[in-house]
């Protein structure tokens, strides 16, 4: 698949153009230089063709940190197929822009000069000043007013190889009734998508970007001692066996009282990433121990019902023993008691490779379907050992259970009095399921329901 790379100095509108092409607010936009720090990648449809679109950081070299952003941006351009070099049409042509553009032209790529912020016909009078770049083609556009963008997209489509667009049918949520109908009709359950989406989550400077680079065995995410280096989510995919694993490096999360400006948008992006994720890697700094902020971040994983692996990073400089560290984690994350714990060092890359097999295992558990007969055997044995307490003097009984969704496993408990099932009994029943089935790393959601509840609701609505 061909790559389209958007490059240019800070604040020329690169992220705005990226969002315009992907047709949603994906990249964070700000007037602050250096907002985009890592590469932002998306597969996009340009007309009838498909390509990978890459948003880069600004070409600026004010210090070592920005020099890293600049070099990563230029490296992306060197690896790309089509380069969109953006400049600010509100000002005069910049000599540094001209030199960078000429360097990119020498790569033998298809390079277009995109002059942004040409918001009106009066602004178009300044376009001739940019002909000194020797660019062909030149596209005067206004991303904010959507002027000239269509011509740019038409040119990009002409440059792309004609491979067509592969579309997937949208998956429909499987409710309990439709599932039972499928079982009765003897239909086989369809396998889910082959991609596994893994969000790397943690507070600032615990080593999330370093872990991503270690997993991919290359510097794909910018790493710096500066807090808040990653401001946007960064998606990177790799093939492990026959599975595509997409890692999402999220912005470090501070205490709520310290979240200001851009970091508020970064937190929103992180939560959006969690909505699409299957598994979360909760990264902790084992050299510092667990903090209250770590616990709050763990709460986000619980909120989005994700599979989870707890990663004790910086194990090479940890001062506690393994037993002490695990005891602290289990004590502070009681609500994630099902999560496996792994110690590693992203910096030295020791034990990082073991994460891959653990991710596959947790994903299998997260997406598994428990056979109905085995599920009900465990439920009935659990009730036999510890009957459900009566509710207002009336007996409460689970008639049967059925799993109606996976990712994570969701189980309907068909009961005579669902309102009488106390949360403590649900916890007991969940523990019984974990003892009988491999559910490590995944939450299990139990939903009490009255037999025929849906049919009764439909009758009420129609009357």
pLDDT single digits (tens) 343-394: 999 999 999 999 999 999 999 999 999 999 999 999 999 999 999 999 999 9
Q: CA 271, CA 333: separation in Å to the nearest integer? A: 20
* Fold exhibited by the domain 3-159: Rossmann fold (3.40.50)
Tokens of 135: 């660019």
The CA angle 247-24-250, to the nearest 5 degrees, is 25
The two tokens of residue 49 are: 């063709």
Q: Identify which of 24, 26, 29 has the alpha carbon closest to the alpha carbon of residue 11.
A: 29
Per-residue model confidence as pLDDT tens digits over 238-279:
888 888 898 887 765 555 544 444 345 456 667 887 888 999
Q: What is the pLDDT of residue 434?
A: 97
Report angle CA 132, 137, 142 to the nearest 5 degrees.
90
Q: CATH for 195-365, among 3.90.1150.10, 3.40.605.10, 3.40.640.10, 3.40.50.300? A: 3.40.50.300
Provide the 3-class DSSP secondary structure of residue 104: helix
Tell me which residue has tokens 């068909």: 414
d(CA 241, CA 3): 24
Distances (CA, A) of 282 to 19, 134, 227, 251: 29, 50, 18, 13
What is the CB neighbour count within 10 angstroms for residue 420? Answer: 18
Helix, strand, coil: what percent of the chain each, to 5? 40, 20, 40
Q: If you average pLDDT over every residue of the chain, what do you get?
A: 81
Map out the domains of the chain as residue ranges.
3-159, 195-365, 372-462
Q: Which residues on neighbouring strands pair with residue 51, listed in sequence order?
A: 44
Q: Nearest CA to 39 among 2, 64, 69, 66?
A: 69
Q: What is the pLDDT of residue 460?
A: 42
Please tell me if the domain spanning 195-365 has the same topology as the one spanning 372-462. Answer: no
Gap between the Cα atoms of 406 and 384, Å rounded: 27
SS (H, E, C) 231-284: CCCEEEEEEECCEEEEEEECCCCCCHHHCCCHHHHHHHHHHHHHHHCCEEEEEE
pLDDT of residue 45: 86
Q: What Å distances lie between residue 67 and 7, 72, 176, 224, CA to CA?
A: 14, 9, 55, 12
Instruction: Please report the pLDDT score of residue 83 as a whole number.
Output: 92
Right CATH for 372-462 from 3.30.300.20, 3.40.50.720, 3.40.50.1820, 3.30.470.10: 3.30.300.20
The C-alpha R_g of the chain, in whole angstroms, comes to 26
pLDDT tens series, the chain, 463 aa: 889 999 888 888 888 899 888 876 544 433 444 444 457 778 888 888 888 898 887 776 655 656 777 788 888 888 889 999 999 998 888 888 888 899 888 888 899 999 999 998 888 888 888 988 888 899 999 998 889 999 999 999 999 876 544 333 333 333 455 555 544 443 445 444 468 999 999 888 888 888 998 998 876 544 444 444 444 456 788 888 888 898 887 765 555 544 444 345 456 667 887 888 999 999 999 999 899 889 988 999 999 999 999 999 999 999 999 999 999 999 999 999 999 999 999 999 999 999 999 999 999 999 999 999 999 999 999 999 999 999 999 999 999 999 999 999 999 999 999 999 999 999 999 999 999 999 999 999 999 998 765 544 434 443 3
H and E: helices and strands count for the chain: 13, 15
């Amino acid at each position: 698949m061909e790559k389209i790379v958007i490059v240019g100095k800070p604040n020329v509108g690169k992220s705005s153009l990226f969002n315009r092409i992907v047709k949603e607010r994906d990249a964070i936009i700000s007037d602050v230089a250096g907002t985009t720090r890592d590469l932002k990648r998306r597969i996009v449809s340009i007309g009838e063709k498909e390509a990978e679109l890459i948003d880069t950081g600004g070409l600026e070299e004010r210090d070592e940190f920005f020099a890293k952003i600049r070099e990563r941006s230029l490296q992306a351009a060197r690896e790309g197929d089509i380069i969109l070099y953006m400049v600010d049409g509100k000002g005069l042509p910049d000599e540094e822009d001209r030199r960078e553009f000429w360097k990119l032209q020498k790569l033998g790529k298809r390079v277009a000069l995109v002059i942004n912020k040409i918001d009106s016909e009066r602004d178009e009078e300044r376009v001739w000043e940019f002909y000194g770049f020797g660019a062909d083609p030149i596209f005067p556009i206004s991303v904010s007013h959507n002027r000239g963008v269509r011509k740019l997209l038409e040119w990009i489509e002409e440059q792309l190889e004609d491979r067509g667009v592969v579309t997937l049918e949208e998956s429909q949520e499987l409710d309990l009734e439709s599932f039972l109908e499928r079982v009765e009709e003897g239909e086989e359950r369809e396998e889910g998508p082959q991609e596994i989406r893994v969000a790397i989550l943690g507070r600032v400077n615990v080593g999330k970007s370093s872990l991503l680079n270690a997993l991919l065995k290359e510097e794909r995410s910018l790493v710096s001692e500066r807090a808040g280096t990653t401001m946007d989510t960064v998606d990177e995919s790799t093939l492990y066996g026959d599975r595509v694993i997409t890692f999402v490096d999220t912005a470090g999360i501070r205490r709520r009282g310290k979240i200001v400006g851009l970091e508020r948008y970064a937190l929103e992006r992180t939560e959006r990433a969690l909505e699409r994720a299957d598994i979360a890697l909760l990264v902790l700094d084992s050299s510092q121990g667990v903090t209250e902020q770590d616990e709050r971040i763990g709460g986000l994983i619980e909120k989005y019902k994700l599979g989870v692996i707890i990663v004790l990073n910086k194990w090479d400089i940890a001062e506690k023993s393994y037993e002490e560290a695990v005891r602290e984690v289990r004590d502070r994350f009681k609500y994630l008691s099902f999560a496996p714990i792994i110690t590693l060092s992203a910096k030295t890359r020791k034990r990082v490779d073991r994460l891959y097999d653990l991710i596959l295992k947790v994903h299998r558990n997260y997406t598994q379907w428990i056979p109905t007969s085995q599920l009900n055997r465990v439920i009935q044995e659990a009730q036999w050992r510890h009957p459900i307490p009566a509710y207002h003097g009336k007996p409460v009984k689970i008639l049967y259970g059925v799993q109606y969704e996976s990712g994570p496993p969701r189980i309907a408990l068909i009961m005579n009095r669902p309102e009488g099932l106390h949360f403590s009994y649900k916890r007991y029943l969940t523990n019984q399921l974990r003892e009988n089935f491999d559910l490590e790393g995944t939450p299990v959601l139990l939903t009490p329901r009255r037999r025929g509840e849906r049919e009764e609701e439909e009758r009420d609505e129609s009357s």
